[in-house]
Chain A
Amino acid sequence: MSRRLDGKVALVTGGTTGIGAGAVKRLAAEGAKVYFTGSNAAAAKLVCDESGATFRTHRVQDEAGWTALMAEIRTDHGRLDIAFANAGMEAGDDSVENIALDNWNAIVGVNQTGVMLTIQHAIRAMRDNPEGPTGSIIVNSSMNALRAMGNFVAYSVTKAAVVALAKSSAVHCGNQGYRIRVNAILPGVVETDLIRGVIDRSPDPVAARSQFENMAPMKRMAQVEEVTGLVAFLASDEAAFISGGEYVIDGATTAGTMGV
């Protein structure tokens, strides 16, 4: 592993499982000091043991908690270089015809408002870096920002919204003269523990797995490590001219249709 991130300080939200946990490990392996947040302390312990990262219990929609978290990072390290706005949820989602307002609000709170708060607090922290405003913010959207699902209205809408949020933030940082970059990634189906659980609990796990795999022309799901490679690239100075981008990583799922 090359160490492109030596000396950098990173924050990953929703870092206890899935893509978030993978990103914590990858950023740490490339040399970054990593903080991560979430609410599953038992899962967090495993990630800490493997990566040497620091866990703090925090939900992204909790505004007061942001102030305390950023104050701690500033006190301990005096800087923030990377923020991966990864926390997201889809529990309780439904079609537009049926979704309960409470469930809609909960998903918007995490997937959209939570990402806004992550970017807002990351910019405020990065603004104070000793060499001036610098940093890379990466938003975990989804290919469903481009291809909406009828039975997951809140998820589809919020994942599209955060692409515009990333672009607006990128343009703002540019206008302010900050060297803070903001980009969105749009993964396809990733074989996380969550997806494995869905497959294992389905009536026909073989068919369920096949259905997920066949969504992509590549005929397989992404592995977590394949997504975190993109996160590390965008986090690094390698991507110094990349901002306001939407990076699709989906095995060609949204490139078109598969033909006959």
Chain B
Amino acid sequence: MIAQDSGRLSGRVALVTGGLRGIGLATVERYLAEGASVVISDLDAPDSAAAAAVIERLGPAASYIAANVTEEGDWKRASDMVRDRHGKLHILVNNAGTDLTGAVESITLADWRKIMAINVDGVFLGTREFVPLMAESGGDFRGGASIINISSIMGLVGYAETSAYNASKGAVRLFTKAIAIEFATKKMPIRANSIHPGFVLTPLLHSGFQRWVDKGFAETSQDLIDTMAGTTPIGRLADPAEIAGAAYFLASEDSSYMTGSEVVVDGGWTAQ
């Protein structure tokens, strides 16, 4: 077991979108354990049971804002809140995302635009909104501020009946490289990297698998999990905490020369 109380993120302020569940929540928990202050954003209302339970459990170093990553106005509110509460931002995790499966000829333009809005527009808008504050804050620590964009193995390779998700996560991969070069050449103290998780046991995975079960691709969700484990060299799916470990590394001083890189955490899936 890794000691997760080194305090190596003490003094840092982080914002994690989609932070109430799955990889986002695991990342929030890890950052808090390492001493950071964390602002969580997600779609749930602040007084909803889901948001209230998480915030109460996480304690005073965590705070919450209901925001939709596709809405420019919500990003402005989030940035006002971060400035008022902390005056700084060192770590931005653009984690909020959704999935979409189906044969390409069956995808509606509305569904296509929706996944692009969440997975791509959201990353762009979050980056655009926070670059000025992160540029101001980046000098506080060696390695500067860090933007961590959650792409996917599906941003590296194609997969049948996953074209819209592939396109959105591929966009995140190259957007990240472009901004990394942009910040570095301007000597702005912001690094940007993408994380590419493989199959992770998250609520999004379970709901996606349930849809496949409903379509008759498998008898149970567990059958699909076993199938995915069988196609992964390490032989299992990831726990969200294992993706959070990579998000912690990219947030810490240890990754100070890494920018524009792809951090693949997939149990060897794309190495085959």
Contact = CB atoms under 8 A, between A and B. Distances in A.
A65 B258 CA distance: 36
A256 B262 CA distance: 13
Contact of A175 (B181, B233, B245, B248): B233
Given A2-B8, A171-B233, A238-B245, A245 B184 contact: no
B265 A241 contact: yes
A251 B259 contact: yes
Interface residue tally on A, bucketed by range: 35 or more
Contacts of A2: 3, 6, 8
Given A167-B271, A230-B254, A219 B187 contact: yes
- Interface of A, secondary structure class, is loop
Nearest to B243: A241
Nearest to B30: A238
Interface string A230-254: 1011001111111111111111101
A245 B194 CA distance: 14
Which 7 pairs from chain A and chain B are nearest by CB? A244-B271, A174-B233, A255-B260, A229-B254, A252-B260, A217-B184, A244-B268
Q: Which of A173, A226, A252 has the most CB atoms of chain B within a 10 A radius of its CB?
A: A252
A242 B181 CA distance: 26
A217 B233 contact: no
B234 A241 contact: yes
Given A217-B180, A217-B184, A242 B246 contact: yes
B161 interface: no
A173 B271 CA distance: 12
Interface in B105-149: none
B253 to A, nearest CB: 7
A188 interface: yes
A218 interface: yes
B261 interface: yes
Contacts of A250: 257, 260-261
A232 B254 contact: yes
B185 A217 contact: yes
A219 B185 contact: yes
Interface in A26-59: none
A193 B172 CA distance: 37
B177 interface: yes
B29 interface: no
Given A217-B180, A244-B233, A238 B261 contact: no
A245 B258 CA distance: 15
Nearest to B186: A217
A176 to B, nearest CB: 10
A226 to B, nearest CB: 4
Interface string B223-253: 0000000001111001100110110110011
A238 B6 CA distance: 14
Contacts of B253: 229
Interface string A75-112: 00000000000000000000000000000000000000
A3 B263 CA distance: 23
B233 A247 contact: no
10 contacts: A173-B233, A174-B232, A179-B234, A226-B255, A241-B234, A244-B269, A245-B265, A249-B258, A252-B184, A255-B261
A245 B269 CA distance: 9
Interface string A156-188: 000000000001001101110101010000001
Contact of A243 (B181, B234, B243, B262): B234
Contact of A218 (B184, B234, B270): B184
A140 B139 CA distance: 30
B256 interface: yes
Interface string A198-223: 00000000000000000011110011
Given A171-B268, A258-B185, A248 B233 contact: no
Contact of B255 (A219, A223, A229, A245): A229
A245 B264 contact: yes
B180 A242 contact: no
Nearest to A226: B257
B53 interface: no
Nearest to A242: B265
B272 interface: yes
B261 A170 contact: no
B1 interface: yes
A74 interface: no
